[in-house]
Structure 1
Amino acid sequence: MKIAIIGATGFVGSNILNELSSRNHEITAIVRNPKTDDNSTINWIKADVNEVENLSKLVAGHDVVVSAFNPGWTNLNIYEDFLLGAKNIQEAVKLSGVKRYITIGGAGSLFVAPNLQAVDTPDFPKAIFPGASAARDYLNILKEEKELDWAFFSPAFEMHQGITTGRTGKYRLGLENPVVDENQRSILSGEDLAVVIADEVENPKHHQVRFTAAY
């Protein structure tokens, strides 16, 4: 398959890039700061996600666009920048003619109780609230999208560089609620998040819905 990955150098994006590359797909890696390597299946391109017309030309002709866009957790304007970038990526994909669009959002919008999303609970970390809130608000925008065959992925609550399980290739899927283990923890490594996304790219199961995964 021919796959465009936006944000391919971040923690999430680089894991997705590595997994899809290992499956021998043809990849266009669209980033702010391109890398150089000897992998002939990866074409690195520098681009600004807010330049909609240019971005639409770059993703045109691909089978699927995967967005791991994140303006940076330390960005003081993360709420505004995330929403702007995400909406512009969505518009660029529509203009490109590509129909399949998978975007990685946050876990904060998962429901931990009826009508209660994690981002609205008292113990939700204040440091990541702006970014998590932006991802939640973008999901609500994306739910109104009727033209694209989109899917929004919410990671497990514990999905960060400190998860050392590596790539197991095992996971369980969910939709609106977090997937938890016998200890009521929602955990997934970055490598296995990439397996989830790569499996969804190759065998689409989620259409115009949000989904999640954990061990």
Structure 2
Amino acid sequence: MQRTKASVEKGAFSKYNVFEIPERLVLKPRTADQGGREARQAEALPNHAFNSIIKTTGPKAQRYITTSPVEVAILRENDKSIIEWKVPVPAEFVSNYDEMPIGDLSDVDEDDTCEYSYENRRLVATMPFGGSAQDKEVSDVRKQLYEQVTKDGLKPKLVNGRPQFFFLNNDAKACFTGDGGLGMAVYEWRTASSKSNEVGIDLEL
């Protein structure tokens, strides 16, 4: 994911980063969060996001392009908890994305969707975190992040009166091919002390 440094003022002891995410094309699968923290559905892309299997070995090994990070958010819609992923489409495939397939939606639940979606430029703030999107500690990090950005005079973006939090899986790489779309996702194990992932919040531009 390309990041553009944002020229904003923040407190001397603030522990978050502020940057812009340029406009981009993403693959956006969604599903109902049916098990919460116990089921941990947000930790990996759902099956219906994939439409192919990439062969990585042998004489017919395929060329693929990786993209990272995988963004995930847990939203509240119509009294349901919905998990939404945003997987940036590699620049090489953006011009012909309408020819790329999406996942198989023929036998899924009503809340399971997947589509390519154009996303406008965003201003975000993120705080490093050494865990997963549904760890209980995420709630404390969200609170700390919200308090710091508002204290520094930044304005969280509100949708239906709610701030928009998200999670960046920097330890995940999604793999695309031009004719098969999303075919593989690789999650790298990293120690919690590395704090390689990020808890984020959208800000008003």
Between Structure 1 and Structure 2, which shows a larger proportion of strand residues? Answer: 2
Larger Cα Rg: Structure 1 or Structure 2? Answer: 2
Q: Quick check: which one's helix share is greater?
A: 1
TM-score bucket of the superposed structures, by smaller chain = under 0.3
The TM-score normalised by the length of structure 2 is 0.27
